[in-house]
Structure 1
């Protein structure tokens, strides 16, 4: 399986997969209709032309208005607003599957950083529901190297170098508010259990190659936050290329979203217009789940009571025992 194929699998399993499905079907249908009237030679020319139009570097900013981003890169950003009655708008930039790949600059104040070897960027907005929030989510598909394959030790090194870059500019680890507070190797081990599905792995702990090869792809997450933006890093690899003495193939996803969309996601569609009023009570309920989870595993793992949530709270299980959260 090559990296373009990995990317298709990753998009299918991404956080915004549900939103993307309609968009992809429409784009595919449009492409199919066009291809029926286009020769192979013409298609090749169109591909070469589109590739040449893409800039080497693109800047994204969560919250940026879609029109502003399109105006910055009019020949590169493709817009799709022909889905879900126009309530969802998608924006995408793609680079050639075989390279050269692009560089994406994440514009987030003091927490800005660059991501090299980007194969594609997808953004989404809900202008009818939240016009002031602009593009509230971006998803990047990233190759760890400019090559079709890389050794597994190199993949481990490059992946954690990317995580280090993220941490060096001030992004903090985020543990979902209903998950137990674990750190270091404990967090890695717990993330690979049934109860730890989707758990935030601690990027400060670099696994051995043996541990790296055992990490489940797609379902393993490295989560961060900085100034009201959340970042979820995941990876996918070719399971047919798992011999550590042979090259492997990896693809990484970086998903950025604003804090409002994170909080809204805890509620059903009908309740989301009132999420600001409802979230404080939901926050307490989630904290109770964390306390219960920590009590369940406290004999196996060390609970990191120094961890502070993005909202500044640190809800220890002792609060639950004392009845301070109902």
Structure 2
């Protein structure tokens, strides 16, 4: 039976199991560094659909152009730990900037309804809504934006490519970002937009805080890294508080797996 344009699989499942289930669609590529990528490419005229189960939370994406799932052979028992999905939301003639903004925030709203919670980087200030956007714009420092705040069209057009909205679910973390083709910024014009979803397991997420050369010891080294980021956050928040910026002291960081 010929396979369709939709795939469904689980975060942490074996890459080979995923490939065997969709043998006509999935292409495996093993890199010399010991990482195997399981790729699916759809033609722009017949985009795909993806559903990924991450514990009790799920990620469902349509208009998919490309999917790449990675399994690190050094941690083979963890299965697929990182997944990238690229969605092409533009029609043949492009999409309006307002339409692209509304599409992205509709997707974010669905994720929130499905149980995904906003995540603030450990070293970034605990800000919400427009205050997080203004902090990013004024300071130029890295942070994610609030998935619950819909920017005005003018604010949307000022956002740079690869601006990130981060969320966490059931032992999983998700980064959502976009890329636009044109840099003209014409509010009334059409453009080509891509939305990228990067899903990773909680183990892989927290392991990323330590030196790659010491990945096997991440549990021992993690707390020192998080403590350093907590000091950084505290210093930034102190400066912002002096200026009257509201700090969301009720926000709780995700807890690392044991």
Scaled to the shorter chain, the TM-score interval is: over 0.9
User: Is 1:207 the counterpart of 2:207 in the alignment?
Assistant: no
TM-score where L is the length of structure 1: 0.74
Distance 1:244-1:195 versus aligned 2 partners, 3 A rule:
closer
Partner of residue 241, structure 2 = 298
Which secondary structure state, in structure 1, belongs to the residue aligned with residue 56 of structure 2? Answer: helix
In structure 1, stretches of 5+ residues that fail to align are 1-52, 313-326
Report the structure number with the largest CA radius of gyration. 1
Partner of residue 141, structure 1 = 86
User: Is 1:155 the counterpart of 2:100 in the alignment?
Assistant: yes
Partner of residue 76, structure 2 = 131
Q: How does 1:261-280 map to 2 (within 5 A)?
A: 261-280=204-223
Distance 1:216-1:271 versus aligned 2 partners, 3 A rule:
same
Aligned-pair CA distance for 1:91: 0.8
Which secondary structure state, in structure 2, belongs to the residue aligned with residue 193 of structure 1? Answer: helix
Distance 2:199 2:171 in 1: 10
Asked if 1 retains the 8 angstrom alpha-carbon contact of 2:10 and 2:54, the reply is: yes
Distance 2:145 2:3 in 1: 34
CA RMSD of aligned residues (A): 1.8
Distance 2:248 2:148 in 1: 14
Asked if 1 retains the 8 angstrom alpha-carbon contact of 2:90 and 2:191, the reply is: no
TM-score where L is the length of structure 2: 0.93
Distance 1:191 1:112 in 2: 29
Partner of residue 59, structure 1 = 8
In structure 2, stretches of 5+ residues that fail to align are none
Asked if 2 retains the 8 angstrom alpha-carbon contact of 1:242 and 1:248, the reply is: no
Which secondary structure state, in structure 1, belongs to the residue aligned with residue 66 of structure 2? Answer: strand
Distance 1:102 1:153 in 2: 24
Aligned-pair CA distance for 1:264: 1.7
Distance 2:157 2:57 in 1: 30
Q: How does 1:189-208 map to 2 (within 5 A)?
A: 189-197=134-142, 199-208=143-152
Does 1 or 2 have the higher relative contact order (CA < 8 Å, sep 6+)? 2
Asked if 1 retains the 8 angstrom alpha-carbon contact of 2:15 and 2:79, the reply is: yes
Partner of residue 176, structure 1 = 121
Distance 2:195 2:14 in 1: 26
Count of residues paired in the alignment: 255
User: Is 1:111 the counterpart of 2:111 in the alignment?
Assistant: no
